[in-house]
A and B are shown apart, each in its own frame.
Chain A
């Protein structure tokens, strides 16, 4: 079992650019959530996808959008990048709501 896999592991973008991060959930999981973790802070919930729909959204601007594919994998898109978007982006998958979430290793995004 490969667990939750995220790609890429690191990337550097310029302010104003757009970025797409990818996540493959753990085998058997159909729910994917995305979190942003700024340096020295706890993860903050961005949104959750289930059955290809955004089921819940945290307090993030519309520049943050996502998608879930029929195979349950997911993408996080961030437009018009700001310096403050620099963070570790974590993907988590779960089998049913409110059961334990398994996290990937994260994507470290640096905006310069």
Chain B
């Protein structure tokens, strides 16, 4: 099993541009989570899906952030327009029930 796969690993973009982060969860996992890690706030849950349906997006900071899960093997997190304060490492994680998450390696986003 390749684990949770995220792409790209690094993204540098200019303020105002659209950014799309991608995630492929582990096959058979029914939960998918998007987290953001910053020095100040640690790991923050942005949104999570159960069986491709968004369950809780209360952690999404603003309307500039959106996430989709069109099928069980793919999810995207989009920021439009991006701002410098969005710079962080974004992690995707998947799980089967409450057995503990498996995290991807993260996408380091830098908005200049």
A and B part of one assembly: no
Please list the residues of chain B having a beta carbon within 8 angstroms of any beta carbon in chain A.
none
